Amino acid sequence: MPNLPMMVATRATVTTVASSTNSATLLAANGSRIGAVISNSDANPLFIRIGGGTASASDFSVVIPTNSTYTVPFAYNGAISGIWGTDGAGHAGITEYTA
């Protein structure tokens, strides 16, 4: 079995995106990304679309329930968009780990 290179994050960038019923970019494509975590603090589910594009309640990859967290697959560095089922007072808390 071949040895795989060790990927080590040296930076963590924390951002937030306010709850909205309009699709928004949560993470832009980033070739330096090693990992990311997205948390939903809103009272409504957050529908995320891996691969970017327009997220909707009928076109999504993963639903993040209220007060829950999603770990982006290891070494995925493409765009991620999101939309809430109903606009609330919360946000998506995003931590992106890069080299």
Domain 11-98 adopts which CATH fold? Jelly Rolls (2.60.120)
pLDDT at residue number 8? 85
DSSP 60: -
d(CA 92, CA 26): 8
d(CA 2, CA 71): 26
Domains of the chain: which residue ranges? 11-98
In three-state secondary structure terms, 44 is: coil
| pLDDT above 80 (res 59) | yes
| pLDDT above 80 (res 84) | yes
| pLDDT above 70 (res 55) | yes
pTM value is 0.91
pLDDT at residue number 64? 98
d(CA 36, CA 75): 9
Determine contact, residues 62/55, Cβ cutoff 8 Å.
no
The mean pLDDT value of the chain amounts to 94
